[in-house]
Amino acid sequence: MGNSEQMSPEEAEKLAERQAEIAEALAEEKRKRDEKHRKMESEREEMRQGIRDKYNIQKKEEFNPMPDGEDVAGRLGRKRKTPEELAAERDLEDQEDFASFLPEGVRDTVKSVTAVPQKMISDAQEKWHYSKLF
């Protein structure tokens, strides 16, 4: 049975019937397998519940520590820095090294001048982040 163009109509019909039978058998096997797994999981859950009842254990609820797309207030970890923020920190460190050679009054001025753009950048990024949430 090579190409379908070389098959007679009867052969093509037999082939289609055979493929339909195979697909039906596969679907039936999948249904039986799924039912078997559902039944086994049900039995396991009954056993788990019996153990929880016997030892007075509360069932654990699924816990999602970081819901997708939400910034959770009060979380212990800090927000990861973007590559731009890391580059800005490196630039600031380079400027601070340069400022160490300057007199103290000029050093304070340099720090205040460089802090303003950094604060503006971080504020803008924070506003942009919150605008994506809503």
Share of the chain above pLDDT 70, in %: 73
Position 98 pLDDT exceeds 70: no
The pLDDT value given to residue 19: 95
pLDDT bin (cut points 50, 70, 90) of residue 129 is low
What's the confidence (pLDDT) of residue 1? 47
Q: How does residue 3 score in pLDDT terms, banded at 50, 70 and 90?
A: low
> Cα torsion for 72, 73, 75, 80, to the nearest 10°?
70
Banded model confidence at residue 61, pLDDT cuts 50, 70, 90: confident
- 75 versus 6: the higher-pLDDT residue is 6
11: CB partners within 8 A, 6+ apart: 1
Terminal CA-to-CA distance of the chain, rounded, Å? 61
Domains of the chain, residue spans: 6-59, 83-133
| For residues 36-40, average pLDDT | 97
Residue 49 has pLDDT above 60, yes or no: yes
SS3 content of the chain, % helix, strand, coil (to 5): 70, 0, 30
